[in-house]
Amino acid sequence: MEFIKTKIQDLILCKPTVFNDERGYFFESFNQEVFEKHMGKSVHFCQDNEAKSTKGVLRGLHYQLPPFAQSKLVRVISGKVLDIAVDIRKGSATFGQYVAIELSNENKHQLFIPAGFAHGYVVLSDEAVFSYKVDNYYHKASERGIIFNDQELQIDWKLAQNELIISEKDKIQPAFDKADLFEINFK
């Protein structure tokens, strides 16, 4: 697996080595030892989640406050999404910046999103199955969000707003400058 640094510290694109032949393909989607070696720290995933959505479904921007903050390793099993990770680490040199990466069943790329990022994605294909590992359990009282169309962040979701399908909860999230953000040690 190849680990590629993005423009934001600790946000890592993971490109697996895929073996193709006449039968199909094989790749190792996760190896704890290899992953931790390249991350330079221990990450203990405790839960795998999966969501199926249709074109235009936008989920996010979500995060949890400490001590329930979550790191995630995200990928797409079928279809294509635009994945967004926003740096919400106060004091970070890239605070308020985001990375947008297309994840698909074709490219098989994964994105490691450490704690301290708001995360969301929009489905670009007719439907997509999105899978992710987390290193902390869901804690409702710690759940927070940022409005998807925040004027300060200026995220290009690649679809017109009238094409987006957004939950009522995500439509009423606060703006970035009003969000309940947190301090985090991001050595």
H/E element, 19:
strand 18-21
Report how far residue 57's alpha carbon sits from residue 122's, in angstroms, rounded to the nearest whole number. 6
Report how far residue 145's alpha carbon sits from residue 7's, in angstroms, rounded to the nearest whole number. 23
Contact 163, 108 (CB under 8 A): no
At residue 141, what are phi and psi to the nearest 5 degrees?
-65, -20
Report how far residue 58's alpha carbon sits from residue 42's, in angstroms, rounded to the nearest whole number. 31
Q: Is 64 exposed, middle or buried (0-12, 13-18, 19+ CB in 10 A)?
A: buried
Report how far residue 132's alpha carbon sits from residue 119's, in angstroms, rounded to the nearest whole number. 12
Cis ω before 61 (30° cut-off from 0): yes
Q: Which residues are catalytic?
A: 62, 132
Distances (CA, A) of 184 to 69, 102, 115, 117: 10, 27, 8, 10
Q: Which tokens is 117 given? A: 């990022």
